[in-house]
Structure 1
Amino acid sequence: MNLSSMRIFDGGQQFLHSLLRMNFTGLSGQIQFDVDKNLVHPAYDVLNIGGTGSRRIGYWSNYSGLSTVTPEVLYRKPPNTSVSSQHLYSVIWPGETSIVPRGWVFPENGRPLRIAVPNRVSYLQFVSKDRNPPGVRGYCIDVFEAALNLLPYPVPRVYMLHGDGRRNPVYNEIVQAVAEDRYDAAVGDVTIVTNRTKIVDFTQPFMESGLVVVAPVKEVKSSPWAFLRPFTFQMWLVTGAFFLFVGAVVWILEHRINNEFRGPPWKQITTIFWFSFSTMFFSHRENTVSTLGRLVLIIWLFVVLIINSSYTASLTSILTVQELTSRIEGIDSLASSNEPIGIQDGSFARNYLIEELHIAESRLVILKTQQEYSSSLHLGPNRGGVAAIVDELPYIELFLSASTCAFKIVGQEFTKSGWGFAFQRDSPLAVDLSTAILQLSENGDLQKLNNKWLTHADCSEQVNEIDHYHLSLKSFWGLFLISGIACFIALVVFFYNIVCQYRRFTPEDGAAAEEGEIQLARPRRFLRSTSFKKLIDFVDMKVDTTKEMIKRKSTDIKRQGSPSSDGHAVSPS
């Protein structure tokens, strides 16, 4: 490279002094340096570049910061670096939009994420302090660590306990600290509620939650009317009505041909009732003769078999399963009373009960530990305890798993929410971790962590399932519909045959016309009533008698219409 021919410049100090003595105005403004070798009044144009063009949206100078006024004008005024005066013209972002895009850049100085963790004193299975690294442990921590392991990039982090360790921290304060940049995130049993989502971003919920009521219960003693409990009132009513209906249908179908369904009126009514309810035990003594009657009876006996089997199974379950009851039926009955209500220390349930349900704050009793939960419920409101406790479902399930079966959840879950990890607004970690939590849920790892840390009591689930053994009409309406259709079809066929036989049994129109003026003089109403009475009498008549009368009548008609020996028809006398 022929380095020997290169010359060495040794006038650096002289060149530096020349630069420091400069004082002129160039294209970028005044060029002058102070004694500290800093540029005097440095200023820049702030440009908004879009495509191939650009537009100036303001200026910057170390004298006044960002502004839309030229620095030369501001130099003649006192310096003003307040936040309210720092503004530029509107920026046009890529995509020709004025909306500021979401963006997040991890710090390149190596500072790890500051993660706030609640320093709890109760329900330590969810999150608690630990002597070993990383300093915290619990179900929520394991879920967070498992989700971070699924991210395609490393996330340096340090866990910072929030709270004094003597009582549960206020979770609204933790979320507010994240919003104020005192923490980068909050990891723990943080409930996603509306006022929190306004200041931070939450991940996808990793645990379903909601407020429930737990109250002391006592065992229900067996009732002498327990045999009625397997069926609801509507089920008993419809079943009894169908027994009578099917009995009446079978009586109609068998009355004309079966001597067991004939006799005096009181005997026939007794037969209907006896036959109806004896089918419940398959002990009916009357035999069905007609085809239609047997069809209806076979379908009905199948329905009775299903009903009997279901009733037996339901009654066995009710008498076998322990049933507990409480005078508190749910949040409505609890809110309408004046008895004290226990809530967990630091929970959002306090604000919800006061602001949403308008419950007096004086009724709320702060409980710090699970032992206080149990003792307060055992004491009751008359001895300084509480009538019930309102808390989130995961806590209550854990409390019931560690206690005896003297308490249970009453009523329904009256709020729907979940637990999530809180991050500062516009953090991409909230989106990426939501995807990771969904992946944990789909591959079963989330359930495995749940089984590792959390257990549930069998008795709390068993006593709440007692209502499932009550059978309602909606479980059997299909069977009743089939039986009803069969009865309807059988009755239609039966009455069609009756009408056909009755038309053969009644006198011909021509024979009736021989009565002449006497027939015309009769009132129409009398004719109709007489015909209906004849029809009823015909239906009540035994079928053998009917056939014999029809046969005899046909013979008489033929005999009356046959010609005599002289060629004239024989007229009736």
Structure 2
Amino acid sequence: MMKTIINSSSYFSKIILACNMLTLIFLIIISTNHIAIKGQQESNNQTTNSTRLRIAVPVKDGFTEFADVRRDPTTGEPIFRGFTIDFFKAVINTAMPYTVLFDFIPYAMPNGTMNGTYDDMLRAVFSGDYDAAVGDISIRHYRTQWVDFSMAFSETGVSMLVPLRRAAGKRETSFLTRLPHGLIGAVVGVCFIAALFFWFWQRKTAHHQATDPGEKAAGHTRLVIVLCFLMLVVLTTCLGAILISLQIEPRQKPLIDHHINDFVRNGKNVGYQTGSFVRNMLTQRGFSESQLKSYSTVEQLLDLLSRGSDGGGIDAVIEETPYLKFFLTQHCNAYTLVPSAVMHADGFGFAFRKERLTDLVRDISIATLQVTNNEDQLRDIRDRTIGDLNSCREDLNSELDPVDWKASMWILIAGVIGVVALLLIFCPVYLGFTR
């Protein structure tokens, strides 16, 4: 009996010991997870709240509407503005689920000029000199070895811009002088033949007005008049279509309508923006160093385009589409984009130190998508920085070749009055209203 009690006691002791071991293991697991979660929260709080991000901003001479760094004339402190700067502020201040502290720092040398290229700036982020870079920074595959990019927030693509073919001289001309000679000849010929026909039938029917054959001849005359009026309607329709085509035609014919490969074969010069990745893209497409001309400002670009390859300038500029569309908003009636020359590019994005701010990059990408989908907010940012980049389409006919419409309208009015007068004089006779 005593042995049975001892064995039972030993059995319950083992059960209690096993339960204690399981409880201890459970407590250890909970404590470990609590410590890990707390450490992760502290780490996230330190990244997004207490630690201020050092953000590099490019310093540019041209196209400062996208990113600009100026000095306050009173305090000397840098002022950061532009489309990409305002867009980043909107993402951080209105779309992020938590507070992100940051300081913009000009990526510049002591004299205020850019401290290298955009690639140099991204390498500085990679080396830890900065935590991020904000500006008109293009997302390129080779740059992902240095930084992590957020979602793109601009239009993508690389395009080619060329001058338009313009009419020589600026003097005003009547639209009648711009009509095809064939149409003018057809109108004159039809009028001449109709006049001969009417004259012939008038002479023929003059001696038979009271007889049946005379009535038959008058019926033939009416038929001819109806046919002439139908021909007049057709000619008027053709005239309207031709006038519209004359107005649109100068906008549809670029001065140089070639593929990019034709520029390579013909040795023509092309331009690119200083510091842009497009230079490497062009050299890979076969352009020689002598064919590539760089520019920093809009004024330099206009000078290169005005001189052409023969004058040491360029015949086309190849650059990211947002820059060229912004250029067209100011010079819409002298240049145009070549649709067949569009090449791939991924647009602008924010760059962050690689593998250090992964969660932040993810959250900023989500916030970027939220801002881009808010049309009112995005329109407000564009209106105060770069404007509507598609406005050139609305102004295609704003400055066409000058036409003296006043003189042309007087010619038309005089012609209409003359035709009506002739009809009033001759139609009663031809149509049988008088005897």
TM bin (shorter chain): 0.5 to 0.7
- Tell me the residue number matched to 2:256: 327
1:420 aligns with 2:349: yes
Q: CA deviation at 1:142?
A: 0.5
Please list the CA deviations of residues 421-451 of structure 1 after superposition, one character each: whole Å capped at 9, or x if unmatched.
0112342221111111111122211232112
What amino acid is the match of 1:419? F
Alignment equivalent of 1:369, drawn from 297, 301, 318: 297
1:213 matched residue in structure 2: 160
Q: Quick one: distance in 2 between partners of 1:177 and 1:116?
A: 9
Task: Map 1:522-533; keep pairs closer than 5 Å.
Answer: none
Which position in structure 2 is the counterpart of 1:153?
98
Alpha-carbon displacement from aligned partner over 1:276-332 (angstroms, at most 9, x marks no partner) = xx99x978xxxxxxxxxxxxxxxxxxxxx9x99997875453223351431243423
After TM superposition, give the deviation of residue 374 of structure 1 in Å: 0.3
SS in 1 for 2:152: coil
Cα offset, 1:390, TM superposition: 1.1
2:22 is matched with none
Task: Looking at secondary structure, tell me which structure has more helix per residue.
Answer: 2
The residue number in structure 2 matching 1:429 is 360
Structure 1 alignment gaps of length 5 or more: 1-49, 55-93, 95-100, 228-277, 284-304, 465-573
Corresponding residue pairs, total: 297
Residue identity over aligned pairs, in percent, reads 29
Which residue, 198, 203, 217 being the options, matches 2:150? Answer: 203
Pair 52,331 (structure 1): closer, same or farther in 2 beyond 3 Å: farther
What is the SS of the residue equivalent to 2:268?
coil
Determine if contact 1:340/1:385 at 8 Å carries over to the other structure.
yes
Question: What residue number does 1:503 align with?
Answer: none
Query: Hey, what does 2:79 align to over in structure 1?
Result: 135
Residue number in structure 1 paired with 2:372: 441
2:266 to 315, 334, 337: 337
In 1: Cα distance, 2:122 partner to 2:87 partner: 19
Q: Tell me if the contact between 1:441 and 1:447 (Cα under 8 Å) persists in the aligned partners.
A: no
Change (3 A) 1:461 1:415: farther
Report what 2:220 is aligned to: none
Judging changes above 3 Å, is the alpha-carbon distance between structure 1 residues 390 and 177 closer, same or farther for their aligned structure 2 residues? same
How do residues 402-551 of structure 1 correspond to structure 2 at under 5 angstroms?
Answer: 402-403=330-331, 405-412=333-340, 413-426=342-355, 427=357, 428-444=359-375, 445-455=377-387, 456=389
Equivalent residue number for residue 117 of structure 2: 170
Distance 2:237 2:348 in 1: 41
CA RMSD of aligned residues (A): 3.8
Query: Contact (CA 8 Å) 1:168, 1:368: kept in 2 or not?
Result: no
Cα distance, 1:368 vs structure 2: 1.7
CA distance in 2, matches of 1:415, 1:204: 16
Going from structure 1 to structure 2, the CA distance change for 1:152 and 1:459 (only over 3 Å counts) comes to closer
Task: Please tell me whether the aligned partners of residues 126 and 140 of structure 1 are also in contact (alpha carbons under 8 angstroms).
Answer: yes
Q: 1:397 Cα shift?
A: 1.8
Would you say 1:122 and 2:51 are equivalent positions?
no
Q: Out of 346, 358, 361, which is 2:275 matched to?
A: 346
Q: Residue 420 and residue 310 in structure 1: after superposition, are their counterparts in 2 closer, same or farther (change >3 A)?
A: farther
TM-score of the superposed pair, with normalisation by structure 1: 0.46
Give the whole-Å Cα distance in 2 for the aligned partners of 1:418 and 1:182.
25
Q: Distance in 2 between matches of 1:141 and 1:155?
A: 15
- The one-letter code matched in structure 1 to 2:369 is L
Give the aligned residue type for 1:210: G
User: In the TM superposition, what whole-angstrom CA distance separates every residue of 1:37-88 from its partner, at most 9, and x where no partner exists?
Assistant: xxxxxxxxxxxxx99999xxxxxxxxxxxxxxxxxxxxxxxxxxxxxxxxxx
**Does the C-alpha gap of structure 1 residues 169 and 151 become closer, same or farther in structure 2, counting only changes over 3 Å?**
same
- Equivalent-residue separation in structure 1 for 2:392 and 2:81 (angstroms): 29
* Displacement after TM superposition at 1:122 (Å): 0.8
Maintained 8 Å contact 1:440/1:446: yes
SS in 1 for 2:71: coil
Alignment partner of 1:192 out of 120, 139, 143: 139
Residues 314, 154 of structure 1: alpha-carbon distance in 2 compared, 3 angstrom cutoff: farther
Q: 1:419 deviation in Å?
A: 0.5
In 2, Cα distance between equivalents of 1:414 and 1:226? 42
Q: Out of 325, 328, 345, which is 1:400 matched to? A: 328
In structure 2, relative to structure 1, the CA distance for the partners of 1:327 and 1:160 (3 Å cut) is: same
Distance 1:330 1:51 in 2: 71
- Cα distance in 2 between the residues matched to 1:226 and 1:163: 64
The structure showing larger relative contact order (alpha-carbon pairs under 8 Å, at least 6 residues apart) is: 2
Q: Which has the larger radius of gyration?
A: 1
Which amino acid counterpart does residue 448 of structure 1 have in structure 2?
A: D
In the TM superposition, what is the alpha-carbon distance from 1:110 to its structure 2 partner? 3.9
CA distance in 1, matches of 2:86, 2:162: 32
2:180 matched residue in structure 1? 224
In structure 1, distance between residues paired with 2:368 and 2:83? 13
Secondary structure at the aligned position of 1:373 is classed as helix
CA distance in 1, matches of 2:27, 2:235: 85
Match of 2:198 in 1: none
For 1:383 and 1:145, the matched residues in 2 are separated by 44
Counterpart amino acid of residue 414 in structure 1: M
